[in-house]
């Protein structure tokens, strides 16, 4: 699932393409939204909140989209002529066309295609809270409340790895930045967040904010500062390889309760030992396929 920095970059791209201009047409290919008429509505702004994208219209409505695992927004020049606007998805590259188009927002200059979106809702702007009111402080918010974030992490009985990725406690952090943040601060992911001193939680929050803020400005996410392929991270997606800091083998295990498990990469040497579910057995050779919590396979 894209992290908050990727979602923020997407919102910036959409805002640049659409804001300040009326929609020439819109096609929402989503249950219950197929008859929505947004043509002529001026786009005030496109903003992000955690992992949610909010397209706010001058008519008092907001279109909320969420990318989930495989969603994306593709921006292309608006084709000339009304006839070309009927099926704009046919004018995108083949690798994009194969992903179902769930939303088309056509402006005078640019057309934005929402591909394989995980969520799409149209609500009154005044009612946005019904969709995003549950979120914790957004790590990319200029007015970010660090004290509230620390208090949220400390509350409840979650492990710190779970808590960092719980959008109700802190919005915008996913697997990548949770893994890299915990490694950088030498914190064992399976430590109960309530057991960690407030100073440690504050350092985790500050570190995550630095990582994710830098990610907004760069096309390639990197915690190491090196954006060359294979050198971007310390532990994320590096299971079976030597730790860049201590040389021990980076490992991977699932974290969280059944049905809500997430993948956690970590170094047992730098972060205080093996995961409770990790038996320490040799990992599969690099390039082997591993199965995540969703049951879907992916290459390491």
DSSP line for 168-208: TTSBT--HHHHHHHHHHTT--TTSBGGGS-HHHHHHHHHHH
Please spell the DSSP secondary structure of 197-229, one letter per residue: -HHHHHHHHHHHHHHHHHHHT-SS--SSS--ST
pLDDT of 82 higher than 60: no
The answer to whether residue 297 is catalytic is no
The tokens for 233 are 């991270």
Among the listed residues 3, 162, 180, 232, the single catalytic one is 3
Amino acid 80: pLDDT: 83
The answer to whether residue 298 is catalytic is no
Among the listed residues 2, 137, 189, 268, the single catalytic one is 2
pLDDT of 291 higher than 80: no
Residues 19-49 have pLDDT tens digits of: 999 999 999 999 999 999 999 999 999 999 9
Please state which CATH class domain 4-132 belongs to.
alpha beta
For residues 190 and 264, what is the distance between their CA atoms, to the nearest angstrom?
10
CB atoms within 10 A of CB 74: 17
For residues 161 and 260, what is the distance between their CA atoms, to the nearest angstrom?
13
Domain segments of the chain as ranges? 4-132, 146-299
Instruction: Supply the pTM of this predicted model.
Output: 0.89
For residues 170 and 155, what is the distance between their CA atoms, to the nearest angstrom?
12
Of 282, 291, 240, 230, which Cα lies nearest the Cα of 263?
291
In terms of Cβ atoms closer than 10 Å to its own Cβ (0-12, 13-18, 19+), residue 142 is exposed
Residues 13-27 have pLDDT tens digits of: 999 999 999 999 999
Amino acid 213: pLDDT: 96
Amino acid 84: pLDDT: 45
For residues 296 and 181, what is the distance between their CA atoms, to the nearest angstrom?
25
Residues 88-102 have pLDDT tens digits of: 544 555 545 556 999
Average pLDDT over residues 52-63: 98
Cβ partners under 8 Å of residue 227, min gap 6: 218, 220
The answer to whether residue 88 is catalytic is no
CATH architecture label of 146-299: Orthogonal Bundle (1.10)
Among the listed residues 49, 51, 56, 169, the single catalytic one is 51
| Cβ contact 72:53 at 8 Å | no
Cβ partners under 8 Å of residue 48, min gap 6: 4, 7, 8, 10, 11, 54, 140
> What mean pLDDT, rounded, does the chain reach?
90
The answer to whether residue 51 is catalytic is yes
Among the listed residues 99, 169, 251, 262, the single catalytic one is 262
Of 75, 78, 140, which Cα lies nearest the Cα of 114?
75
DSSP code of 160? H
Of 231, 227, 208, which Cα lies nearest the Cα of 218?
227
As a whole number of Å, the CA-based R_g of the chain is 21
Q: How confident is residue 212, by pLDDT bands cut at 50, 70 and 90? A: very high
Residues 224-264 have pLDDT tens digits of: 999 999 999 999 999 999 999 999 999 999 999 988 899 99
């Amino acid at each position: 699932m894209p992290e908050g920095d990727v979602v923020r970059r997407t919102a910036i791209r959409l805002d640049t393409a659409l804001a300040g201009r009326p929609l020439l047409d819109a096609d929402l290919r989503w249950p219950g939204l197929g008859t929505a008429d947004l043509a002529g509505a001026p786009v005030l702004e496109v903003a992000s909140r955690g992992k949610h994208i909010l397209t706010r219209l001058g008519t008092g409505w907001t279109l909320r989209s969420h990318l989930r695992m495989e969603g994306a927004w593709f921006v292309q020049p608006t084709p000339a002529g009304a006839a070309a606007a009927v099926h704009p998805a046919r004018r995108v590259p083949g690798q994009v066309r194969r992903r179902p188009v769930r939303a088309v927002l056509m402006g005078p200059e640019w057309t934005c295609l929402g591909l394989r979106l995980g969520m799409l809702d149209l609500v009154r702007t005044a009612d946005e809270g019904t969709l995003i009111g549950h979120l914790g402080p957004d790590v990319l918010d200029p007015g970010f409340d660090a004290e509230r974030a620390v208090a949220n992490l400390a509350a409840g009985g979650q492990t710190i790895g779970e808590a960092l990725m719980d959008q109700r406690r802190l919005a915008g952090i996913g697997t990548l930045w949770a893994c890299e943040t915990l490694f950088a601060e030498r914190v064992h992911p399976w430590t109960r967040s309530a057991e960690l001193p407030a100073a440690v939680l504050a350092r985790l929050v500050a570190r995550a904010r630095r990582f994710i803020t830098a990610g907004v400005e760069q096309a390639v996410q990197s915690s190491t500062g090196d954006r060359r392929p294979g050198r971007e991270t310390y532990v994320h997606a590096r299971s079976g390889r030597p730790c860049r800091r201590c040389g021990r083998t980076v490992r991977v295990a699932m974290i969280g309760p059944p049905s809500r498990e997430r993948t956690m990469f970590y170094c047992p040497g730098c972060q205080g030992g093996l995961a409770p579910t990790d038996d320490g057995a040799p990992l599969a050779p690099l390039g082997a396929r591993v199965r995540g919590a969703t049951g879907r396979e992916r290459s390491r």
